[in-house]
Amino acid sequence: MARLDEVGTPTLDLHLHSTASDGQLSPADVVSLAARHGLRTIALTDHDSTDGINDAQTAGNLLGIEVIPGIELSTAVDAGELHMLGYLIDPNNEQLMARLAQFRDSRDRRAEVMVERLNAAGVVVDLVRVRELSAGGAIGRPHVARALVESGQATSTNDAFERYLIPGRAGFVPHFRLEPVGAIELIHAAGGVAVLAHPFSVADLHTTLLKLVAAGLDGLEVFYSLYNDEQRSLLVTLAERYGLVPTGGSDFHGFGEREGHEIGSSKVPADTVDRLRDAARRLH
């Protein structure tokens, strides 16, 4: 594979969010922004939704940007959460669409419970406003956080998370329980390949990775925006050891919210999508 220092200006970004989940830009605007940053290939990886992919691909066709269909599924592990990326999925796969609709329903109910709990704790949040901010996309903590910032109860989304939305705080409510292995199966059944997102978010990475590899994991998000060279080389070693495709991206959600996640900010090797396609061909 390409060595870290051989990757020049990034032309790929395989981890991007839009208004189909908790991003701030529409799918088409994400694609135009990618074009302005000189990217050639991107993947839209909204949480629990493929609803933005069609619009992103239409915009991509106009602007000469290749848009790879993607998804980011939230899964539950004993130590907290684990995010699984899916690439090259069929966004219209019926089983996938049915499950995603279920996850989004559960996110909607979770938002209600979050708001109830916050209000009970004296933190006034308006559910109607939270729903408005989610604009019909998969609703999540960032929408509640933005409502808290708007009403002056937090100074930034990050502040809102720290005060009210992380485990142990008044507004924290866990997700619908999907196991990581179930997420891999769902992605495979939709014709895609499964990639462990931001691996250092996983508490017991080495043990978990063994289980995921046994369950058919295809890739590892090595070139994640927040990771330094040392972390990336450790992940490169793990990817080689387990035969996983190293992928990467920014986890861009919009402007002025989370530092270090600027679009195109991560050096992702140019052959990454070819390697994902090879993995998908071998599998399907």
Residues that bind Zn ion (CB under 5 A): 22
CB of 181 to Fe ion, least distance (A): 18
Among positions 10, 69, 142, 219, the unique one binding ligand AMP when judged by CB under 6 A: 142
Q: Does 146 bind ligand AMP (CB under 6 A)?
A: no
DSSP 164: I
Among positions 10, 251, 252, 280, the unique one binding Fe ion when judged by CB under 5 A: 251
d(CA 44, CA 56): 8
Q: Does 46 bind ligand AMP (CB under 6 A)?
A: no
Q: Does 153 bind ligand AMP (CB under 6 A)?
A: no
Of 105, 118, 120, 280, the closest CA to residue 190 belongs to 280
**Taking the CB of residue 240, how many other CB atoms lie within 10 A of it?**
12
Q: Does 258 bind ligand AMP (CB under 6 A)?
A: yes
Parallel/antiparallel/unpaired status of strands 80-87 and 66-77:
antiparallel
Residues listed for the chain? 284
Q: Does 253 bind ligand AMP (CB under 6 A)?
A: yes
CB of 89 to Fe ion, least distance (A): 16
Question: Encoding tokens for residue 170?
Answer: 């008044």
Decide: residue 178, CB within 10 A, 0-12 exposed, 13-18 middle, 19+ buried. buried
Q: Which of residues 102-141 bind ligand AMP (CB under 6 A)?
A: 140-141
SS3 156: coil
CB nearer to ligand AMP: pick between 25 and 279: 25
At what angle are helices 127-134 and 94-120 packed, to 10 degrees?
Answer: 150
CB nearer to ligand AMP: pick between 162 and 278: 162
Q: Does 47 bind ligand AMP (CB under 6 A)?
A: yes
Task: Name residue, tokens 């043990």.
Answer: 207
Among the listed ranges 156-164, 195-203, 227-235, 273-281, the one in contact with ligand AMP (CB under 6 A) is 156-164
Binding stretches for ligand AMP (CB under 6 A): 22, 47, 74, 140-142, 157-158, 161, 253, 257-258
